[in-house]
Structure 1
Amino acid sequence: MMNKKFSWKNDHWIKPYLAQYKWNFLLAIFLGVIMFFCGGALMFYAGYTIDKAATRPENILMIYVPIVLMRAVGIGRPLFRYLERLVSHNWILRVTSSLRRRLFYIAERNTSAVGSSFQTGSILSLLTDDIGHLQNLYLRTIFPAILSYLVGFFVVILLGLFSWPLAGAIAILLVAELVLVPFFSLLKQAAVRTKEKEEKAQLYTEFTDQVLGAGDWKISGRRDAFFNQTKETLKSLGQHEKKSGKFDWARDFGLEFIFGLMAVALLYFTNQTLTNNQEAANYVGAVVLALFPLSDAFIPVGQGIEEWHTYSDSVKHLNELKVPENRLPAQQYLDPAFAGTLRVSDISFTYPKEDYPIIQNFSLTLKRGQKAALIGPSGAGKSTILQLILGDLKPNQGTVTLDHLNVLKLQRERSKLFSVLNQEPFLFNTTIYENLKMANSDATTDQMMEILEKVQLADFVNSLPKKLDTEVAEAGARFSGGQKERLALARVLLQDTPIVLLDEPTVGLDPLTEQKLLNLVFEVLKNKTVVWVTHHLQGVKYMNEVLFFKDGKVTMQGNPHDLFKHNEHFHQLYLMDQGLI
């Protein structure tokens, strides 16, 4: 009956955590059952006490015991309710914490400093929507359903001790209440809920276009189209939500009606069997009243099971995630202080499901302190080479070695051997001090200020009221593009690795700022081995070697000074890049 997009057999995001935290889960279920028992017992003793008191007992002590029991279960109900919520929420927080750690692990294994298998939107969707939906799946569907089935089972057994015909009638009504109506609701609402999700996704896209494209809409003069773009989608979504609301009202009314039939059945059987004498008649109201607190266990099941349509896609998305296999060879140690020659030997690489190699027979050798620039258009494979050098990708052919050790054997020491300066360095929403501290946890304040002096940020930081304790704001909003790159460069210097990979760190900067930053970068990195990915020739004078890429192949290679003198094509390209011709 479930959505065909999901298979319990192949699930590895729900069942494993039910098993891992089963004792917390079972304790929450037990406390929930006891809480409902206390609720029913409270109404039972209250009803009995009222009936007994109405018959004018000879002595107040005749109703003292039920009064004491009523007070006890009256205290027990909120107490066990509190404990059940405490345990169940502790359980679900443990589960979702494990889910998020697992998702971050998968993302980390698929993400590198120069490339990612995920889009930003998909990761945010998984972290916010899908994990949140999985949390609600536990709290609003799985937990209430199991709790209600257990409570219903005990109700039938207890009534069976009193009257099996009554237990049979209640069991039939419970099957309708807890199974037939919820699953009919699930099937009936499948198409409507699917349509609602599609329209909400479409609406999200339309609103994104409106917000991000507002300036273009205004300039085009199509203001009316701008405001009318989402009207049809909103109207259709409103109609479907109205239809869903009507169905939900009808379903809940049906569930309440079935619950009312249980009360009528209980009232009928108790009047048939408990009215032979006054003492027995005192239990009639008590038994019927004990049923009503159980509505809180039975009624929510219909809504919870219907919401499977909301959760099923999220479960499917998560189950589609694959944990990358750890195929790294035995790890070895290389002292960063003595790391020497980086050698890329005849490597070729093809992405999965692609028909052609993005890198073909590429080789590069850099001794310690030497620098190379990889130049070419977007999609030529330059950033892929950085991923191969880092060990994020494994070449289909050839090897990448550092002092004759395959970089795949140095992944445990990678952060001590390689550092990366991206075109979009990320600054965390914390202080400048903490953003620098992540590069080197042992760095002192004096060391940080010394590095900031080298990257020409010390005066700016000292001018701030809180200096190093200044918040950088979300994504480094407080800083300009050039300042972000300088702060990221400071992190690279604090990390102090022998090899630095530059992935177009000056893209998006104006020419003057770009040239100043390049001068600074290669001044402070003059003793480091550098592999620099760039799209033009500004700054190649600092390089020992430049390599031009096209369609995954090196089309021109050599020392930039020699190429300028002896290669006419390079000579012309350099002059054009500098705006001299």
Structure 2
Amino acid sequence: MAISLGILTFVCAGGLMFTAGYLISKCATMPFNILLVYVPIVLTRAFGIFRPVFKYCERITSHNWVLKMTSDFRKKLYNSLEQDAVFFNSKYRIGDILGLLSEDVAHIQNLYLRTIFPMLVAAGLYVIIVIGLGVLTPLMGLLLAILFGLIIIGIPVWSVLVNGQRQDDEKQATNRLYADLTDNVLGITDWIFAGRSAEYLGRRKNDEQQLRKSQHALHSFNYFRDFLLQMMILLVVIALVIWSSWRFGHHWGANWIAAFVLAVFPLDEALAGLPNAAQQTNTYVDSLERLNSLPAVPKDNEQLDVVHAPFQLQLTNVKFAYPHTKNVILNGLSLTIHSGEKLAILGRSGAGKSTLVSLLRGDRQPNSGSVLLNDVPTSEFGDQISNYIGIVHQQPYLFNTSVLNNVRIGNEQATEGQVWSVLQRVGLAEKIHQLPDGLNTKVGEAGLGFSGGEQHRLSLARILLKNVPIVILDEPTVGLDPITEQQVIDTFMKELKDKTLIWVTHHLQGIDQMDQVIFLENGQVDLAGSPAQLAKNSKRYRMLRAADEGLIE
């Protein structure tokens, strides 16, 4: 439909100019029959009306179809990233994803709107013109077949061969700049602290210069190619002038010369953009490959069998390293976390504590070994893992909506009474009662209306509302003052006393309330035991405890 409407648009445009040219030249003479003027007037009005109508309908039809088609690409992209979100940083650069969102889907739209549809419309017009003139004069039909063939096929193919690779190189360079700029801006403090700001700016400037050099060569060719295309159209006009003078010169020649020549000019709009559209095909193909290479969204909706208490986490000879890196984060780690156990995980920055948490929740899969919850790999639970394992992050995120909605993230079906109950347990009920709108009070963007300790308590309220058997505390007291820290720890220990608790921390305050403590070093458990055992038998633990309490430096 879009292609047919596109052809009709240019047929009406050509018909409008044809009849207008005939009518203008005819009105300069004395017509012996009023119909020789009246009929062209009617046709001019008809073509003038139907040209914008067909063009409008073509735009609606083509854009409607293309936007529906590309919406499937966007859905695939979002679903692929959503199902793979926890592996996001290890598989994708943020700049690459921004490139997919901002460029590649738009390229797919342009593939149809600026290349496929215009090419097929031009091909339809080519057939109409060649057959139409071929019926009048076979040799003229053959000549225009050659000239229009060069315009529609020859010049676009030449453009692809010469400039297509440049176009592709430009896109790749732009993608690299996009990705590098994103990563460098996110890590700008590292450049500054390393004293390498000048190096960063120099690299950026060099990359941009290379891109501009490539763009200059590309644009220079485009100018020459477009000039040549206009010369080809001029040859078509000259050929039509000569042919119409010969074919109709003996009978109202001026009228027909003006008609045929003016009918060519609307074709310039249909043909002028074909070479540039053709050379974009390499870019479009690259975008198609990138979108099609996204992981397929699984269609299997089968639910895992519900696992029942007691819940035990078992890690056996777990090895893990992030893709494209040589550093092994966990190297043969084995660990058993029994139901109801309180376990503290300590270790220096980069020792693998956060990686271990991701493996326990099934957010990542080990390179080798196994991470099991009641003999089921945690990575197989998918979204169901939230029914068994909850987590309080170092910086819990609160959405800019009501307190009620923020707490109900733990259980969307919870009643207001249940929400008040968990808020009472975490020590926030009195504060919420004092707020202007109670539970309906907005917490502010990122929870700015609440202190750090209160944000952690709201996060705990979500966990309590969900009532999961296993809770992970991922350094939840970082940045809190000592008094608030101890209050938050006491709340956690009191409300989670019947849960399996895994506490990731670098701070030993409150550590005596844990059943077991392990130290991660070089991807393995370097030290393990109860706080009392370690205090008695481990000199290293005693030194860490003293340093944490400020007794030694």
TM-superposed CA distance for 1:444, in Å, is: 4.9
What residue is the counterpart of 2:46 in the other structure? 72
What TM-score do the two structures reach when normalised by structure 2? 0.81
SS at match of 1:112: helix
- Which deviates further from its counterpart, 380-389 or 197-206? 197-206
Change (3 A) 1:249 1:578: same
Change (3 A) 1:176 1:68: same
C-alpha separation between the residues in 2 aligned to 1:121 and 1:480?
A: 33
C-alpha separation between the residues in 1 aligned to 2:314 and 2:185?
A: 47
Change (3 A) 1:339 1:206: closer
What residue is the counterpart of 1:292 in the other structure? 265
TM-superposed CA distance for 1:298, in Å, is: 0.9
Alignment of 1:182-581 (within 5 A): 182-189=156-163, 190-191=165-166, 194=169, 198=173, 201=176, 238=212, 240-278=214-252, 282-308=255-281, 310-311=283-284, 313-323=286-296, 331-334=303-306, 339-351=309-321, 358-367=330-339, 369-395=340-366, 399-403=370-374, 405=376, 407=378, 410-411=381-382, 413-427=384-398, 435-444=406-415, 447-448=418-419, 451=422, 454-455=425-426, 459=431, 463=435, 468=440, 470=442, 472-473=444-445, 485-507=456-478, 514-581=485-552
TM-superposed CA distance for 1:450, in Å, is: 5.4
Which amino acid is the alignment partner of residue 535 of structure 2?
F
What residue is the counterpart of 2:8 in the other structure? 34
What TM-score do the two structures reach when normalised by structure 1? 0.78
C-alpha separation between the residues in 2 aligned to 1:209 and 1:353?
A: 18
Does the 8 Å contact 1:349/1:397 carry over to 2? Answer: yes
SS at match of 1:153: helix
What residue is the counterpart of 1:98 in the other structure? 72
TM-superposed CA distance for 1:206, in Å, is: 7.1
C-alpha separation between the residues in 1 aligned to 2:536 and 2:437?
A: 52
What residue is the counterpart of 1:19 in the other structure? none
What residue is the counterpart of 2:113 in the other structure? 139
SS at match of 1:538: coil
What residue is the counterpart of 1:129 in the other structure? 103
What residue is the counterpart of 2:60 in the other structure? 86
What residue is the counterpart of 1:14 in the other structure? none
Does the 8 Å contact 2:343/2:517 carry over to 1? Answer: yes
Residues 80-119 of structure 1 show CA distances to partners (whole Å, capped at 9, x for unaligned) of 2122221222222223221122112222332228975334
TM-superposed CA distance for 1:299, in Å, is: 0.8
C-alpha separation between the residues in 1 aligned to 2:184 and 2:86?
A: 30
SS at match of 1:348: strand
SS at match of 1:358: strand
SS at match of 2:527: strand
- Which deviates further from its counterpart, 226-235 or 497-506? 226-235
What residue is the counterpart of 1:10 in the other structure? none
- Which deviates further from its counterpart, 247-256 or 479-488? 479-488
Change (3 A) 1:290 1:206: same
Does the 8 Å contact 1:348/1:357 carry over to 2? Answer: no
Q: Which 5+ residue runs of structure 1 have no aligned equivalent?
A: 1-26
TM-superposed CA distance for 1:516, in Å, is: 4.5
Does the 8 Å contact 1:114/1:387 carry over to 2? Answer: no
Which amino acid is the alignment partner of residue 332 of structure 2?
Q
Which amino acid is the alignment partner of residue 563 of structure 1?
L
C-alpha separation between the residues in 1 aligned to 2:296 and 2:284?
A: 22
C-alpha separation between the residues in 1 aligned to 2:179 and 2:358?
A: 34
TM-superposed CA distance for 1:452, in Å, is: 5.1
What residue is the counterpart of 1:168 in the other structure? 142
Change (3 A) 1:509 1:95: farther
TM-superposed CA distance for 1:129, in Å, is: 3.1
Does the 8 Å contact 2:329/2:351 carry over to 1? Answer: no
- Which deviates further from its counterpart, 299-308 or 461-470? 461-470
C-alpha separation between the residues in 2 aligned to 1:168 and 1:432?
A: 77
TM-superposed CA distance for 1:344, in Å, is: 0.8
Residues 20-66 of structure 1 show CA distances to partners (whole Å, capped at 9, x for unaligned) of xxxxxxx3222222222222222223233334444444554454444
Does the 8 Å contact 1:334/1:410 carry over to 2? Answer: no
Change (3 A) 1:430 1:148: farther
Change (3 A) 1:266 1:238: same
Change (3 A) 1:321 1:218: closer
Residues 203-242 of structure 1 show CA distances to partners (whole Å, capped at 9, x for unaligned) of 985798689759997998x999999886666666555545
- Which deviates further from its counterpart, 96-105 or 525-534? 525-534
C-alpha separation between the residues in 2 aligned to 1:567 and 1:258?
A: 89
Change (3 A) 1:417 1:233: closer
C-alpha separation between the residues in 2 aligned to 1:391 and 1:101?
A: 24
Q: Which 5+ residue runs of structure 2 have no aligned equivalent?
A: none
Does the 8 Å contact 1:194/1:309 carry over to 2? Answer: no
- Which deviates further from its counterpart, 120-129 or 501-510? 501-510
Which amino acid is the alignment partner of residue 342 of structure 1?
Q
